[in-house]
Structure 1
Amino acid sequence: MALTPLFYYLPEATLGAIVIRAVWGLLDVGEMRRYWRLRRTSFVLALTALLGVLVYDILPGLLLAVVLSLALLIYRASRPQGSILGRIPGKPVYSDIARHPENEVVPGLLIFRLNAPMFFANDEPLRDRVKELVRTTDPPPRAVFLDLEASNNLDLSSVDTLAELVGELKAEGVELLLANVRAPIRDLLERSGVAQTIGEEHIYPSIEEGVKGFRAQFPAQDRQRDDTTG
């Protein structure tokens, strides 16, 4: 502070150069390049924080980056990614058929895994996605198997959405099955009556158990598979 008067008569261009040189040391160029190469959204957030601090001050700049991060989180959560699953040949394990085209598809059964927890911000897009898959799958499935492994619990909006989805699928002659339903979710489904709407026999501890139950309920699908492969 005692040296501040010495800078009073310096030209603004010179002062600007001094500030830029001081701030440049705070910027890790190598790390920013790494963000750009691995994940562009992280680069944008880091750049937003940097520019916000330079333009507005430290606290407003960081708050701007935090707000942008929360907005990005909500955007991603409301547009969840899902995978259609198939059985890994020779194993009772199911994975994404888009990544593993060699996986075996169960005839008449559409297995869909939500790759994020189900909650109020994404339950409607999930319902729309499932209905779209039912409409576009040829031949149409007899049942949709929804894998809830990523969900530790559900809110009431998601419970209501599941109940609505059951009715909409039944109107098209399609059953809804659930797999990997954790205890808190099952308790909530039972208290709300949605478990009875879905059918207790349609809630399974694993995908493999559900596939066995589906084949027992629709044995004609297995005969169709044998005729096709034979």
Structure 2
Amino acid sequence: MVATLSKYIPGLKIFHSYQREWWQADLMAGVSVAAVALPVGIAYAQLAGLPPVVGIYSSIFPAVAYAFFGSSKQLVVNPDSAACMMVASTIAPLAAGDALRNLDLAILLTFMTGVLCLVGGIAKLGVIANFLSRPILTGYLNGIAFSIMASQLGTLLGFKIPRSGFFLTVWQGISRMGETHFASLILGLSLFALIRLMKRFTPKLPAALFATIAGILAVTVFALPGRGVATVGQIPAGLPVPRIPAFAASELVPLFSGACGIVLVSFCSMMTTARAFAIKNGYPIKVNQDMFALGISDLAAAVGSGFAVSGADSRTAVADASGGKSQVTSIVAAVMMALVLLFLARPLSYVPAAALAAILISSALGLFDIASLRRYYSFSKPEFWFSIIAMLGVMTIGVLPGVLVAVALAIIKLLQRASHPHDAVLLPVSGLEGVYTSSPDEEHDSLPGVLIYRFDASLLFFNADYFKDRVQLALSESGSKPDWFIFNTEAVPLIDITGCEALEEVRRDLENQGIVMVVARAKGMFLANLKKSGLWDSIGKTRFFYSVHAAVLAYQLEHPQTS
């Protein structure tokens, strides 16, 4: 029974075979994760424009859901900066500043995201984890980092700045420097310095928790609310009651569009984290199962009045560094946060907003990846610029539009490359029978009467005309007219109808010139489609060979005077 259920709920297998000696490590790791997740959850709720307690709700139920349904032993599913920014950018224009509408729309958006992930997991669409290339994901996260820091500028300075793009927000902050509330600024900078120093000298301690406690003490001891320092305010004690969100039919389309974007970005980001820790700890990841698990986690967040979540890299790193052995770490962390909500909600109301700004800005610094940008620049200039475009797009036109622009440009570049693939004319290597090369640097023999041509891509509608042009160019540059044109198809896995028609045009053109077309190394779908299209018969089955060398030998047998 457990074996059957564990196919759909992998966590059951872990719990069924759980080893007692793991408990102490999982307990300590869970406490450490909770210590980080609690203040970070409150901060991310603020980032999403939602009440602070919603961030705690979103840290509890999704973590438990993923522990049962996910395939990673270390991954902690919690509020994440990228998902939070996308939630905020989707619901803010619709809610128009109404806090209750914000919450309703966030719940509905999270529900839609969960359903899409569930459907994707069942339909085995986990392959979308590869849709965002590393350069685009790097640029996206760099843009998110800049956007987060800009969004917290007003909180740090002690006045409100309306949500807008990075550059406009920074300009508003600079132009209103005269309104700075110095008590808030000094407190925020002090807590930010505390976090950075702890990350530098005591990286194993939960710096965000210490900064939160220090902020609460400062607010209490120095009576800072009376001096104009903002706090998060009252946090309701107890666990959430499920809420049915109110919405208008006109809001469904923008919410659905936002949900699609969140699925793409949050799942890609989650799988990057999950795979990294799976490789480190030596076990496999099941992408389709994890997409399904993310859907369950988002639905759990929606039922618990939370918002969309993802794989939280910082909390996952804490779980791993603290020695967590299994998904029990996430469950312990969730239980600890639930206990805080039940019995320690009142002290959380004294958390200063400046402390949350310090936590968010520090987290944003951790998203920057300048080293990868340098690597992209030296390796591939186009991919470097895709990364920069994604970053600038997120900073200016918004999170989802910025990513979509970069993805669209990457797809256009990919199609451009696919429509003009590499090809080569091959010649035999001197002294190595049966070995052929396209490199001008290698010593090679001449091969009179034969032209060997290789096309290094599937022959499809978008490169069929290019293929015909390249064949004609190869013939014109060959010097003398060959008797046989040997088409080496080892790098052509597929051909479509347009490709078949192009190949037939080439065959007829060669025939009109008195040149025989020969096909070498045809296999798989390429060969199957040649037979379906009739090219197998028009070329002639005796003109198909298992290797280029076999085709050359066949030519030499037929033309002994040339060999």
State whether TM-score is above 0.5: yes
Match status 1:197 vs 2:538: yes
Are 1:97 and 1:103, in contact at CA under 8 Å, matched by a contact in 2?
A: no
Give the distance between the partners of 2:422 and 2:555, measured in 1 at CA: 25
For the residue of structure 2 that corresponds to 1:112, the secondary structure is strand
For the residue of structure 2 that corresponds to 1:221, the secondary structure is coil
- Go from structure 1 to structure 2 and tell me whether the alpha carbon gap of 1:174 and 1:53 turns closer, same or farther (over 3 Å shift): same
Amino acid in the other structure paired with 1:54: M
Q: Could you list the per-position Cα deviations for residues 94-123 of structure 1 after superposition, in whole angstroms to 9, with x for gaps in the alignment?
A: 2213352x1223212111111222211112
Match of 1:12 among 169, 173, 179: 173
Match of 1:61 among 382, 392, 402: 402
Identify which of structures 1 and 2 has the higher relative contact order when contacts are C-alpha pairs closer than 8 Å and 6+ apart: 2
Are 1:144 and 1:176, in contact at CA under 8 Å, matched by a contact in 2?
A: yes
Q: Could you list the per-position Cα deviations for residues 161-201 of structure 1 after superposition, in whole angstroms to 9, with x for gaps in the alignment?
A: 11111110111121111111004333322232211211211
Give the distance between the partners of 1:135 and 1:29, measured in 2 at CA: 48
The Cα shift of 1:35 comes to 0.5
Q: Percent sequence identity over matched residues?
A: 26
Aligned to 1:109: 450
Q: Superposition pairs for residues 40-189 of structure 1, below 5 Å?
A: 40-88=381-429, 89-100=431-442, 102-189=443-530
Are 2:457 and 2:493, in contact at CA under 8 Å, matched by a contact in 1?
A: no
Amino acid in the other structure paired with 1:57: G
Of stretches 204-213 and 6-15 in structure 1, the one that deviates more from structure 2 is: 6-15
Are 1:84 and 1:97, in contact at CA under 8 Å, matched by a contact in 2?
A: no
Aligned to 2:556: 215
Give the distance between the partners of 1:15 and 1:125, measured in 2 at CA: 58
Give the distance between the partners of 2:409 and 2:476, measured in 1 at CA: 36
The Cα shift of 1:25 comes to 5.9
Give the distance between the partners of 1:24 and 1:184, measured in 2 at CA: 49
Give the distance between the partners of 1:179 and 1:154, measured in 2 at CA: 15
Are 1:85 and 1:105, in contact at CA under 8 Å, matched by a contact in 2?
A: no
Aligned residues: 218
Give the distance between the partners of 1:24 and 1:142, measured in 2 at CA: 65
| Larger strand proportion of the pair | 1
Are 2:425 and 2:474, in contact at CA under 8 Å, matched by a contact in 1?
A: no
| Residue segments in structure 2 that go unaligned for 5+ positions in a row | 1-45, 47-51, 53-153, 162-169, 178-360
Give the distance between the partners of 1:105 and 1:97, measured in 2 at CA: 14
Amino acid in the other structure paired with 1:48: I
Aligned to 2:375: 34
The Cα shift of 1:27 comes to 3.4
The Cα shift of 1:66 comes to 0.8
Q: Could you list the per-position Cα deviations for residues 119-165 of structure 1 after superposition, in whole angstroms to 9, with x for gaps in the alignment?
A: 11112111111112112221222221111111222111111111111
Are 1:146 and 1:177, in contact at CA under 8 Å, matched by a contact in 2?
A: yes
Are 1:84 and 1:98, in contact at CA under 8 Å, matched by a contact in 2?
A: no
Of stretches 138-147 and 39-48 in structure 1, the one that deviates more from structure 2 is: 138-147
Q: Could you list the per-position Cα deviations for residues 68-114 of structure 1 after superposition, in whole angstroms to 9, with x for gaps in the alignment?
A: 111111111111110111222323222213352x1223212111111
Give the distance between the partners of 1:155 and 1:15, measured in 2 at CA: 62
Amino acid in the other structure paired with 1:12: G
The Cα shift of 1:24 comes to 6.7
Are 2:418 and 2:463, in contact at CA under 8 Å, matched by a contact in 1?
A: yes
Q: Could you list the per-position Cα deviations for residues 7-33 of structure 1 after superposition, in whole angstroms to 9, with x for gaps in the alignment?
A: 3499632789xxxxx577643222111
TM-score, normalization: structure 1?
A: 0.84
Are 2:456 and 2:492, in contact at CA under 8 Å, matched by a contact in 1?
A: no
Q: Which has the larger radius of gyration?
A: 2
| Larger helix proportion of the pair | 2
| Residue segments in structure 1 that go unaligned for 5+ positions in a row | 17-21, 223-230
